[in-house]
Structure 1
Amino acid sequence: MGLPVHHMIASGPRPVAPFSHAVEADGWVFVTGQMPTDPAAPDAPLPEGIEAQTRRVLDNLKIVLGGIGLGFEHVTMARIYLTEFERDYKTMNETYVGYFTPDKLPARTTIGVTGLAVGALVEIDLVARRP
């Protein structure tokens, strides 16, 4: 077993805390939870509503995965954090599912939380496996 590889993606979102975008160990890739910030305008206001924020988070995850040569087809597990679970769960799911092949969805946990960084409504982290 080699040392973990820490990835920072130049085109990726600006970190909102001290972390690597992803850390890889023995073919497993752990992608830090992403926020709905725009990599091209990190100080801009967050998108309005759960659908727009979920899309931005998933687009940010796509940037991180793509930066290390992976895609959503390599994702084995997703964890989703929602600040308004009851209100946003259905819409978030409708948006989320469009990023994956329907019969190849990753394992998943969704958690209601009292708050997220930058006032976000949603955060998603991933575990992926390199082929």
Structure 2
Amino acid sequence: MSEKFVSSTAPEPVGLYPHARRVGHLLFLSGVGPRKKGSKDIPGVTLDADGNITDYCIETQCRSVFDNVRAILEESGSNWDQLVDVQVFLTNMKDDFKTYNKIYAEYFADNQPCRTTIEISSLPTPIAIELKCIATIYDE
């Protein structure tokens, strides 16, 4: 059994993919960034006229990403405590890891899924962080 989910509150996907896909008792989330639904504005990001990042706040972006992940999980029938694996993509590990790790610890104090953090040169939109997650999901 496979079922696709598109959140009514998370930012629209930037390509042809669902926010999440359920396969059996697992929920796979597509990459989730800090954008807000229905807006081109990115929390914690300042862009110039050409769309290039001139300044950003990794703390604001982290909180927004985590909130978007939570919304997708809940609308898909799972929840934060059912996350089992989180892949984090950062565009600036050197400058952002310490702050990201601090915010991550706040959000994941109780549930501690497996985690991999990877530095990449860029993401499809002008953001500094994206999460790819796997959670469990059970019918009631």
Supply the AA of the counterpart residue of 2:59: E
39, 42, 48: which one pairs with 1:42? 39
The gaps in structure 1 that reach 5 residues or longer are none
Q: CA deviation at 1:117?
A: 1.8
What corresponds to 1:12 in structure 2? 10
TM-score for the superposition, normalised by structure 2: 0.85
Q: CA deviation at 1:100?
A: 2.1
Q: Tell whether 2:100 aligns with 1:78.
A: no
The gaps in structure 2 that reach 5 residues or longer are 45-55
Paired with 1:19 and 1:83, the residues of 2 have a C-alpha distance of: 22
What corresponds to 1:89 in structure 2? 97
What corresponds to 1:51 in structure 2? 59
Runs of 4+ with >2 A deviation:
none
Q: Is the 8 A contact 2:29 2:133 kept in 1?
A: yes
Larger Rg: 2
What corresponds to 2:20 in structure 1? 22
What corresponds to 2:29 in structure 1? 31
Structure (1 or 2) with the greater helix fraction: 1
Q: How many residues align?
A: 127
Q: Is the 8 A contact 1:28 1:127 kept in 2?
A: yes
What corresponds to 1:119 in structure 2? 126
